[in-house]
Amino acid sequence: MEITEGSASESESSDTTAEKRRRSTRKFLYLGVGVALLLAIILVLVLLLNSPGASNAKCRGFRQCPDYPLPYAFGTWPKTYSYAGSFPEGFVWGVGTAAYQVEGAYNEDGRGASIWDTFTGANTLGMPGANCSYCCQSAPCTPNKNMVGKGATGNVATNSYHMFRTDIALMKSMGLKHYRFSISWPRIFPTGSATGEPNPEAVKWYDTFIDELLAAGMEPYVTLYHWDLPQALLSPPELGAWWARDKDGKPVGQILPNWKHYVDTCFRLFGDRVKVWVTFNEAWSCTKLASGSGKAPGIPPFMNPAVDPYIAGHNILNAHAAAVDIYRRKYQTSQKGRIGITNNQDWREPKTDSVEDVAAAERAVLFQLGWFSEPIFGAGDYPQEMKDIFAALGTALPEFSEAEKALLKGSADFFGLNHYGTGWFAATKEPGWDMTYGTSSEEGFVQGQSTWLYGAGWGLRKLLNWVKRRYNNPEIYVTESGWSVAAQTAEEAANDTQRVMYFANYTSEVLSAILEDGVDVRGYFAWSLLDNFEWEMGYPIRFGTTFVDYDLGLDPNAPLPNSQVPTPGFQLRRRKDSSCFLEQVWRSNVMTAPSGASCVKPLVFQGRYRDTTQPGCKRVLDVYKPPTSGSISGTRPGPGRTACNNVTDIPYGPAMVTISGSTVVCTDCRTQSSQGFWSAGSLGIEWDDGALWVKDL
């Protein structure tokens, strides 16, 4: 029995074991199914979250919700700035302009029509390239409907094509060492030709300008494309320029041969002296804002802001890469220059610290700055977040080929950044005009003259940190930064306290970004050297650190019988306080407090001078009361002499001068009026004929 019991018990026990095994097998099975189910659920969730624009409404477009952008945590934005500390040695200070905004002389020396001539309604009849499908057929021509300041054109602008020596004297008097300007493509190739020689008169002009700039101690920073496309290249439907696409709607590089020939020619002709090249200025502005938001060309059939800017942007990115490739292969080794691109971004601060708003603000920066930076400074392609959202919206971004990606990736020696202002950004349910599912607002920020311009110095610091984080700390040049202030007269304009504060706040935050956050900022270019043609707004909006009296009058080539547009008469340049504040900073390379920064007063001109171009000759400048006029008298060398000797000298003057702040104008010193600018560096007057008069103390 025992045995039976034993066996029974054994059998029982073996039964139990089998049962146990079965049970545990079942348990494992259940567990396995459970785990598999769980994994499947997780997988589905992950897929769902990752799928573009899908259920992760919290931070749409992101695989991982972005962090709140530092260095300032929500609500800890600074209310004041310290205005102290030194910039790194070799920090590059400059000012900038762009060809169409300042040159004028729009139909001289063989210049071809530009899309901005057409947009503004300038009289382009008979100009090279002015026979496009939508070009003007008889004068007066018609401005584009998105031109706000109707009647304004770049026909004369600040007349810098003729007054470049005045501009150079002005910059010399500021102690400036770097000047950013752009080359006008339709001057160099009036019809945007893809072969052959450039327009010799244009080449001569830029040669002279660059030579004289260098002789005056200034280094040129040259932009190749600042929006003034040769009109000859844009005549839809056949010629689509940046907007060209094939029948399937895919971007095609129709314009590439023309562009490559232009940039190659510029490198070849000017690259011995130009050591910093910027391919494109603000591709975002000249694409996204060119489909009905105020920038040229703004024409059918390219008016769909959800599609057309992205085609143009794609072609522009490929053109950028092609230009850099040409420069690197053919010129960089011998010319030893550097090349990059300038993109623009205003800072977008999350409206609240919610995940949704933080993500929306991040999208705003990615969909503008990231759009044109990621392919170059990232992996050679558009930001994934942007691709996902566009795909979900059914307007997929164009695709780069592997070869294009390879050419794009790393195609810049520095990161050029244009930055003006800051606003809040909050999440929305609708994609909106910019597809960001977000919207901006500005309450609490100080406003400039421009409707879109609100400022906060800390915004620039945050943006600089953003670039550092996203693109692995590239060398950054702030290639534009500025503030518009309205003014009717030179007197009123000169007192530009708000702009002084802007530059103080912004440069102070640049310094903090460098010293405290380790951002590699190498330079800061104030926008602009001069008041100038502010695109669709025309001339009332003033961004200059120097006031321009446009000598308003009638321009027979303007679209309307408008007697309030710039003329090539006498245009006064008068420095504003902001230019003198910046001068203090860049002469010392030390941040200084903005309070009381101002330019010298007219009485500074009173006294005796040595003219460095006419040794030994006397120069006496008498300032009258009120100090708005005066006279110059003295001696000049007698016949056949180059210096004075007190014996054969003949009288110099007396000549009447007018004085406006730190500008002196001599109306009858030579056949044309000439301007001189007080120079704190040389304690004298920089004249626009190149003469320097040094005070004889």
Residue 235 near ligand NAG by CB under 6 A: yes
Compute the residue count for the chain: 697
Which range binds ligand NAG by CB under 6 A, 266-274, 368-376, 545-553, 641-649?
641-649
From 480, 509, 583, 686, the catalytic residue: 480
Residue 80 near ligand NAG by CB under 6 A: yes
From 282, 349, 356, 404, the catalytic residue: 282
Give, as ranges, the residues between 504 and 543 that touch ligand NAG (CB under 6 A).
Answer: 505
Among 142, 293, 304, 498, binds ligand NAG (CB under 6 A): 498
User: Minimum distance from CB of 649 to ligand NAG (Å)?
Assistant: 9
Residue 142 near ligand NAG by CB under 6 A: no
Rounded to an integer, what distance in angstroms lies between the CA atom of residue 634 and that of residue 654?
7
User: Minimum distance from CB of 687 to ligand NAG (Å)?
Assistant: 22
Half-sphere exposure of 346 (CA within 13 A, CB side): 19
Judged by CB under 6 A, the number of residues near ligand NAG is 18
**DSSP bridge pairs for 339:** 277
Helix axes 160-173, 200-215, angle to 10 degrees: 10
Q: Name residue 99's amino acid.
A: A
Residue 446 near ligand NAG by CB under 6 A: yes
User: 297 phi and psi, to 5 degrees?
Assistant: -85, -30
User: Minimum distance from CB of 646 to ligand NAG (Å)?
Assistant: 4
Q: What secondary structure letter does DSSP report for 553? A: B
Among 62, 81, 227, 687, binds ligand NAG (CB under 6 A): 81
Residue 110 near ligand NAG by CB under 6 A: no
User: Minimum distance from CB of 566 to ligand NAG (Å)?
Assistant: 26
Q: Which is nearer to ligand NAG, 455 or 568 (CB)?
A: 455
Pairing of strands 338-344, 239-240: unpaired
Which range binds ligand NAG by CB under 6 A, 4-12, 261-269, 519-527, 644-652?
644-652
User: Minimum distance from CB of 420 to ligand NAG (Å)?
Assistant: 11
Rounded to an integer, what distance in angstroms lies between the CA atom of residue 666 and that of residue 634?
14
Q: Which is nearer to ligand NAG, 470 or 618 (CB)?
A: 618
Among 131, 304, 384, 606, binds ligand NAG (CB under 6 A): 131
Residue 347 near ligand NAG by CB under 6 A: no
User: Minimum distance from CB of 235 to ligand NAG (Å)?
Assistant: 4
Pairing of strands 607-611, 454-455: unpaired
User: Minimum distance from CB of 611 to ligand NAG (Å)?
Assistant: 13
User: Minimum distance from CB of 512 to ligand NAG (Å)?
Assistant: 13
- DSSP letters, 148-202, are SSTT--SSSTT-HHHHHHHHHHHHHHTT--EEEEE--HHHHSTT--SSS---HHH
In 3D space, the residue among 260, 133, 246 whose CA is nearest the CA of residue 192 turns out to be: 260
Per the CB < 8 A criterion, the answer to whether 191 and 230 are in contact is yes
Place of tokens 């190749």: 224
Binding mask 550-589 for ligand NAG (x = CB under 6 A): ----------------------------------------
Rounded to an integer, what distance in angstroms lies between the CA atom of residue 243 and that of residue 250?
10
**DSSP bridge pairs for 425:** 350, 440
Which range binds ligand NAG by CB under 6 A, 151-159, 328-336, 382-390, 495-503?
495-503
Q: Which is nearer to ligand NAG, 298 or 661 (CB)?
A: 661
Rounded to an integer, what distance in angstroms lies between the CA atom of residue 376 and that of residue 311?
17
Rounded to an integer, what distance in angstroms lies between the CA atom of residue 14 and that of residue 31?
25
Which range binds ligand NAG by CB under 6 A, 350-358, 458-466, 643-651, 666-674?
643-651
Residue 645 near ligand NAG by CB under 6 A: yes
User: Minimum distance from CB of 490 to ligand NAG (Å)?
Assistant: 13
Place of tokens 């545990």: 24
Which range binds ligand NAG by CB under 6 A, 2-10, 46-54, 340-348, 638-646?
638-646
Q: Name residue 535's amino acid.
A: W
Among 142, 395, 497, 631, binds ligand NAG (CB under 6 A): 497
Which range binds ligand NAG by CB under 6 A, 347-355, 498-506, 530-538, 659-667?
498-506
Residue 132 near ligand NAG by CB under 6 A: yes
Rounded to an integer, what distance in angstroms lies between the CA atom of residue 375 and that of residue 381?
4
Residues in Cβ contact with 682 at an 8 Å cutoff, skipping those fewer than 6 apart: 692, 694
Q: Which is nearer to ligand NAG, 326 or 644 (CB)?
A: 644
Place of tokens 């590439």: 256
Per the annotation, the verdict on 282 as an active-site residue is yes
Give me the sign of the Cα torsion angle 509, 515, 519, 524: positive
Three-state DSSP class for residue 385? helix
Pairing of strands 438-441, 684-687: unpaired
Known catalytic residues? 282, 480
Binding site for ligand NAG (CB under 6 A): 80-81, 131-132, 235, 446, 455, 457, 495, 497-498, 501-502, 505, 616, 644-646
